Every structure is written in C-alpha cells, then in structure tokens.
Amino acid sequence: MTQDLNQMREHMLTAIAAASGLDALEACRVEALGKQGTITALLKTLGKMTPDERLVQGPLIQGLREAVANGIAERKATLERAALDARLASETLDMTLPADAPTPGTIHPVSQVMDELAEIFADLGFAVATGPEIETDWHNFSALNIPETHPARAMHDTFYLQQGIDAKAAGTADEKTTFSLLRTHTSPVQIRTMLSQKPPIRIIAPGRTYRSDSDATHTPMFHQVEGLVIDKGITLGHLKWTLETFVKAFFERDDIVLRMRPSYFPFTEPSVEIDVGYTLVKGKRVVGGAEPDGWLEILGSGMVHRKVIEACGLDPDEWQGFAFGCGIDRLAMLKYGMDDLRPFFDGDIRWLKHYGFSSLDVPTLSAGVGA
C-alpha cells in the first residue's frame, strides 16, 4: 500500500502543478480532498483497520493529505500572483485626471471650526496642546480643585473604566497614575501642560470629551476647546480682551457685545459666564448687533484658582492666569445655523454635503476664518 500511496502522491502533485487556472486547481482539490475525494475515502478506511494497521497506515495517509493540501495552497498563491501581475500590466491609471467621485468629500463643520480656532488663537500667540482622552481621576478632577462630593464625579455623568476602578480600589495604583475614566473636559490638558512646561504659558486645548448625556443639544461624545494663560500680573481685564477679540474674529463681526456674569467653577476664582448678544432676523437668532435682542451663553471662564496653580507645582503669589472653555459643536451650531447636535455624528451624506466645507476652504485671518 505504501507504493500505491507514493504513486498517488506523485500523480496528484503533478496534476496540481499542471493546473492552468483556479478552476482547474479547484477540480483537483475536489477530486482529492472533497467529500467524495480519493484521500477522503482513504481516511474513512482508518476506522475499519486494526490498531496495528492504523498505526502504520494512519501517518502515511495523513502525510499524503498534508502534501496535497500544501501543494494546492502553493499553486493557488502562484496563480493568484500571476493573475494580479497580468492585471497590473494591462490596466493603466492617469493620475493627472481629476477624481471621478459622484459625491466629493467635505470637511466636517467640527474640523473646520477647530481650524478656525487654531488660526485665531495662533494670531494671539497661543499654541495648541493635546492630551490623552483616557484620563486619571487626579488630572481630571482632583488637580482642578473638584471635591470628592462634587456632582461631576457621579457615575451618571462620568464614564468610568472598570479596570481603573478595580486597580485603585485594590491599592495597586494611586489616583495620579490609574487611568480610570474618559475625560469629561479638556482641562486635564491644562494640568499636564503646567506640569511639563515652565511659565509663561499660552495654550488652547481642543479635543473630544465624554459625558453621559444625549439629546438635541448634548451627545455622549462632544468636542471642547479650552484656553489657558499663566504669566505674571494677569488680570480679569486680560481675559475680557482675549475673549472679545476671539468672539469678534470667530463670528467675523465687529458689532459683537459680550456680557460677563458671576458664576462658580471649582477651578477658577472669580468665575464668570460669558454671554453674547444676538438679534432676531426673520425669527432666527443671529449673533451680533450693537443693541442685542437677547443673550446666549457661549462659554465659561475665570481666573485660575490658587489651588490649581499650587497642584501643578507653581507659586500662586508669583504666577497668575485665566482659563476659559466652550463647546466646539455648539460654536459651529451657532455660527452656521444648525439647530440639532445629533446629525453631527449620524454620518448622513446629505447633511455633510449641505453643511460641509471644501478642502480648499482653509481658514485665514486675511480671507476670513469662515470662508
């Protein structure tokens, strides 16, 4: 039987090597390894053999099966490579022709507004800073003077990571090193910047943030930009001028009126909410107007709290600063007339085509950031 198996192996491998195409190769596979194939039939005879016969014939039949299977795989790879080479040799693509796309891609409004913000603040001397989206409890809360009992730490508002919580509870890591949540704001970037850089500091921190909330004006993931200035002799007047300059440049209007209202944030003292005046045009609120018809809250801000400065290893008697933060998605809604936040993340090509921007619409202060 050994001689018969060797002859069978030689015959099958010869047929496989001679297969001129994938169809012919598939016929060889079915003939040898299919349900009614020759080798399959040999494998079925093992059950009828005595233990001694099976001990001798089993390895021989399995060796034949493996050799044929490997031969088929190698021949298939050779045939597929030859077919690809022939296709590449016959096809040509003129890279100088314009793209033939029925629906050209567009820049998402959020990406466009991020570019606008970077352009505006770069002109004011701000750099763009980034940080991890999975954060530690210390960077996201404690270093920002947010107490343990603050509602922002509650499970219904923050996405906690079970692995991080377990590590902290087990005492294997402390709150400064255990990455235990998805950041609820980009303020941790401010903390990481103050820890890694020496003042003076002027940064904005745009990026994704996460909170457990969802409706027409809230989504579980949203985009936020925060600004931070740390220097000597910084006052609330510097904050007011910076925000006025930013809002006028962003909405591209000189008749912007801002209102500062006292508020409370754990990480700033004093804290102020910033409202922008709007006028009614055909029943819609349009930002701007020397005599506003009403006010819209757009961001929160204030002077950086002494405890936050101390937590970052700086002397609050020497260094002062201000910080502000606002939602990028809401800025886009306000500027470009969108009334629902949810389509931002639906991926509807019709919405993207309507509200999207051309890749050539690069924001510049000379041509207009919203060009």
Entry pTM: 0.67
> How far is it, in rounded angstroms, from Cα 313 to Cα 307?
10
pLDDT for res 366: 67
Indicate the angle between helix axes 328-336 and 109-123, nearest 10 degrees. Answer: 100
> How far is it, in rounded angstroms, from Cα 60 to Cα 97?
60
Q: Are 287 and 250 in contact (CB under 8 A)?
A: no
> How far is it, in rounded angstroms, from Cα 326 to Cα 309?
21
Residue 43 pLDDT > 80: yes
pLDDT for res 40: 87
Q: Are strands 127-128 and 201-210 parallel, antiparallel or unpaired?
A: parallel
178-181: long-range contacts, CB 8 A cutoff, minimum separation 24: 178/136, 178/137, 179/132, 179/134, 179/135, 179/136, 180/135, 180/136, 180/137, 181/134, 181/135, 181/136, 181/137, 181/140
Q: How confident is the model at residue 320 (pLDDT cuts 50, 70, 90)?
A: very high
Q: What is the pLDDT of residues 84-119, one digit of tens each?
A: 998 888 888 777 877 665 656 788 999 999 999 999
Q: What is the pLDDT of residues 122-170, one digit of tens each?
A: 999 999 999 999 999 899 999 999 988 777 777 668 888 877 766 666 6
Residue 181 pLDDT > 80: yes
If you average pLDDT over each of 34-43, 145-154, 198-207, which comes out highest?
198-207
In 74-196, at which residue ranges do the beta strands (DSSP E only) sit? Answer: 127-128, 134-136, 179-182
Q: Give the H/E segment covering residue 351.
A: helix 349-355
> How far is it, in rounded angstroms, from Cα 277 to Cα 255?
9
pLDDT for res 236: 94
Q: What is the DSSP string of 75-89?
A: HHHHHHHHHHHHHHH
The 8-class DSSP code of residue 48 comes to G
Q: What is the pLDDT of residues 268-281, one digit of tens each?
A: 999 999 999 999 88
The single residue listed with the structure tokens 């904005």 is: 204
> How far is it, in rounded angstroms, from Cα 247 to Cα 244?
5
Can you list the alpha helix ranges (DSSP code H) found in 132-183? Answer: 137-140, 162-169
Q: What is the dihedral of CA 216, 217, 222, 227, to 10 degrees?
A: 170
Instruction: Count how many Cα atoms sit within 13 Å of the Cα of residue 283 in the half-sphere of its side chain.
Output: 0
Count of Cβ atoms closer than 10 Å to residue 84 Cβ: 10
> How far is it, in rounded angstroms, from Cα 307 to Cα 291?
39
